[in-house]
Amino acid sequence: MAVKRYGELKASDWRAPAPVYLIEGEEPVLQREFLTQLRRALSLEPHSIDETVLDARETPTAALGALVQTIPMESARRLVLLHAVNRYHAAELQNLARLIEQIPPFACLVLLPSPAEESEGAKAAWNTLVKAVEKHGTVVKLAPLTGATLTRRLVEIAQQSGKRLRPEDAEYLQTLTDGVAEHALAELEKVILFVEPHHEISRLDIDMVVAPSQQAQVFKLVDSVVARDTRAAMRQLRLMFQSGTRAEEAAMKTLALIARQYRLLWGVRMLLQAQQPVKQPNRIDPEVAQKLPKDPDVQQTLLRQPFLQDRLLKQAERLSLAQLCTAFHAIWEADLALKGLRPSVNAAEIMERLIVRLTTDGEPAQPSHLQGG
């Protein structure tokens, strides 16, 4: 039949559902939407006795075949969802490819791979399975909901609820939720309820309702640091210590996130020095990309989390390489202190001293400390 993107499916596709679907892509929001649409097309009620959910790691293809051949009890068609299909070994994948050719008209099989790759030695068998689905059913590709696509989705959902959400505020909501569509959409639902009966969603409304992720909190902290605003940075640090975890654990986690942020800033600063297009990471010179930090991977972060590009760029523009070296040295010494290898009073005092050092200029440290923290 076909290979289609989820957004390309038309009303005609839903009027006559295929006997088998293979879902490619790991976007949970779109996967749930697809299954909801499919149930509606099959006239299946939620939790119907004619819907079965299986896991390939626990279901031999022989058992799957018997279930697919079972006539539905209440509906015109039976729906069978098979998770982790890519975990079948080669022989079972070949069996499944043959089974697809024999799916009866009263059944609909949906194959849902797990994030892991197919089993070792099963690539050829997996390709055979994909071709069988393409011939007898539909391969549905789910593109990740990220960046501008997610921004549009957030704005549209707000509009459907009679609310106005500006694109820049939708992007801000993404920064608070690490750009995870599932999280961002759930938080938007809370904001929509919060603003009733008003029609405008402001940034203040978002701040009132949405609890920022740890990464978002570190961004705010580093924003204050690069602005040399010690008081604001200290306030943000203390907020991060109010998570309910032990001070030592909170300090280690916060320090790791700060170190990660500064490695990202080092990479972006290198891109600026090399006159590379930070906002077009797929066009970065491969030789330059090879020299960027890999923990985290700077280029991949810019590609997968485009909503971070502006914020990273603004922060990196305000820090010289010498200042970044000084920051890494301070982070390295804080790490040693938290591990008991430097004299200190307590974890909170170590982190407060770090913030003071980061918000004041000092002598540049040697690049040998770049991997510290």
pLDDT digits (tens, 9 = 90+) for 44-63: 988 899 999 999 999 999 99
Task: Identify the band that residue 244 occupies on the pLDDT scale cut at 50, 70 and 90.
Answer: low
Structural tokens at position 259: 């170190």
Identify the bridge partners of residue 219 per DSSP, sorted by sequence position. Answer: none
Question: What does the pLDDT average to over 77-85?
Answer: 96
Using alpha carbons, select from 88, 152, 159 the residue that is nearest to residue 117. 88
Helix axes 167-176, 214-226, angle to 10 degrees: 110
Is the pLDDT score of 94 beyond 50? yes
Confidence of residue 13 (pLDDT cuts 50, 70, 90): very high
In the chain, count H helices and then E strands: 17, 8
**Per-chain mean pLDDT for the chain:** 91
Q: Is 133 exposed, middle or buried (0-12, 13-18, 19+ CB in 10 A)?
A: buried
* pTM for the full predicted model: 0.77
pLDDT value of residue 1? 64
pLDDT at residue 366 is higher than 50: no
- In whole angstroms, what separates CA 47 from the centre of its chain? 28
Q: What is the pLDDT of residue 283?
A: 96
Query: What are the structural domains of the chain?
Result: 2-141 (3.40.50.300), 147-209 (1.10.8.60), 214-369 (1.20.272.10)
